[in-house]
Amino acid sequence: MPDSPPHDWVTRAADDAIRHAQQQYGEDLGDHVITCASGASPSGPVHLGNLREFLTVHFVAEEIKRRGLAARHLHSWDDYDRFRKVPAGVDPSWSEHIGRPLSAVPDPWGCHDSWAEHYKEPLVASLRELGVEMVEVSQTEMYRAGTYREQILTAVRRRDEIEQVMSRYRTKAATAAPESEQEAAAMADSVANDDENGLTGQGATDDLARFPFKPYCRDCGRDTTIITAYDEDTTDLSYTCTACSYDGVTNLTTESEGKLVWKVDWPMRWHFEGVDFEPGGVDHASPGSSYTVGKELVKIYGGRAPSFVGYSFVGAGGQVKMSSSRGGVPTAAEALKILEAPILRWLYVRRAPKQAFNVDFGAEVVRLYDEWDALGKKAANPDKRDAQVLAFERASSTTSAGRLPTPEVVVPFKLLSSVADVTAGSAELISRIVGDVGHEHASVAQLEPRLGKAMTWMSDFVPVEDRTTVRETPDAARLAALNEDEELWLRQLLDRLPDHLDLEGTTTLIYGVPKLARGLGLEDAPTDQVKQDQKDFFRLLYNLLVDADRGPRLPTLFLALGADTVRRLLTPPA
């Protein structure tokens, strides 16, 4: 009996999404398009935690398509959300825009039409590189076009029922405590536990203090409004703006000057868009938060909540340049500077969404690439197909774009970054040395995109103190202070060093010099004394070549420097 195909969290989530659609439209879905939805508020850099929102939906939609069913990844840009605060590094005068829609706040840097567009564009570019295709919806456009007018009127008519649900869950509201400063910063802008009934205060009656619709002030554009009256017959909504003291009236049937509060807005869209699957962070899944309340409120529209998975935080480790995400977590664009797109995808698909993890920008990157390369070799064997290989396959390709870019010639990341370190990032030189150190000779193009990412990692993410700095001139003082053994080691090395270096011969020579000094042959097994001599010899070479006690593998370092440079740095000045 053949083995059953491997299953993972994507398989289970796709099963749930399909089941949700079948319960709504029947077992034979025919041409029905299963909707997998994501949403994000472009209030700042879309960090690696937010990326989980997109990739979770992407992988589930991909699995549904793989089964021959129609599916779409529908993404809502919550750019009609309010601008909440001025982040560090932005002109404090931008505080005048607090309370306005993100799409109405100017871009402080002047490169985009709005604050929202400034943060949407780089993420969309990163998603394209990651192979994520989605139908994008701007909530600013939807609300301002009056698309949701009937849904708004329904919520207002049934506001008493909404308040009953809200009040029942309000006492249960609980948010998981953040486990790190990164997580706390990432959750700071969450709408999950916003005051679901907007601003209350003097001038608002009990009936209107908890109103499911929030108008933006017609005069100043902010949502700092208190509702003062509502006419059920005309649908005129009167309000006072606490920011500019404007008294206004908006008609909910004919005008579009506000939005539903978040905990009503989200379930409304589930029904309007026919959502079958949508994930959410832990802030949306906690008791009394958005999803638990939404499951009840969607019934007001005659709908039902989509299948759901909650996902945990994604942080970062290692040294990260945080200039564009100060105080938070790095973005997808920053991660893609050093990780091939399939590897970044793999980090998200190989773990169940509820598993928190870090994307490491430090030394762990080398191990990550090694693990990925080993998995690639395993995946090439059809007899070794399991959940790990399934994750590799999901990360490597998409139904529409096929296989995502990977190097034509695979060279270990550790070697590329090490050579990039020694050669100060010369791509052509790196390409030549790769062939010299025992790997297939490859052009720069054949080594991309890994080569460029290795060079960037070494130059931008590895601390200066951990990089290799080749001496410019011989260390005259150290060479003058050589002891008898050290003089013998260097003399035997330089006497035997060929003009053209290759990996095998250079390795044999470097390890063999201490053997020769003890009367052994190059191929003889080292004695305990020789092993100690080798350690001392290697330290001497590092001291004289790169002014450190350790560094890249010595054979690789020799090939990167070339025989002439090695001779010059190891020869005492005349």
At 287-314, the pLDDT tens digits run 777 899 999 999 999 999 999 999 998 8
Please tell me the predicted confidence (pLDDT) of residue 34.
Answer: 98
Under the banding of pLDDT at 50, 70 and 90, the label for residue 210 is: confident
Please tell me the predicted confidence (pLDDT) of residue 327.
Answer: 45
Nearest to 414 by CA among 347, 463, 468, 369: 369
Quote the tokens at residue 384. Answer: 């070794």
Please tell me the predicted confidence (pLDDT) of residue 319.
Answer: 56
**CATH hierarchy code of domain 476-570:** 1.10.10.350
Q: Mark out the alpha helices in 107-233 (DSSP H runs).
A: 115-129, 139-144, 149-157, 159-170, 181-187, 206-209
**CA–CA distance, 322 with 47 (Å, rounded to integer):** 11
Residues facing residue 359 across a β-bridge? 316
Question: What average pLDDT score do residues 257-272 get?
Answer: 96
Better-scored residue on pLDDT, 394 or 427: 394
Please tell me the predicted confidence (pLDDT) of residue 325.
Answer: 35
Quote the tokens at residue 105. Answer: 């706040």
317-341 burial, b if ≥16 CB within 10 A, otherwise e? ebebeeebbebbbbbbbbbbbbbbb
Q: Is the pLDDT of residue 187 over 70?
A: no
**Phi, psi for 239 (deg, rounded to 5):** -150, 160
Please tell me the predicted confidence (pLDDT) of residue 174.
Answer: 53
Global pTM value:
0.88
**CA–CA distance, 15 with 102 (Å, rounded to integer):** 36
Nearest to 292 by CA among 283, 301, 300: 283
Please tell me the predicted confidence (pLDDT) of residue 354.
Answer: 92
**CA–CA distance, 424 with 430 (Å, rounded to integer):** 10
Cβ atoms 192, 41 nearer than 8 A: no
Q: Which CATH superfamily is domain 9-193+261-311 in?
A: HUPs (3.40.50.620)
Nearest to 401 by CA among 460, 325, 342: 342
Cβ atoms 40, 78 nearer than 8 A: yes
Better-scored residue on pLDDT, 238 or 559: 238
Cβ atoms 272, 151 nearer than 8 A: yes
Please state, rounded to an integer, the average pLDDT across all residues of the chain. Answer: 89
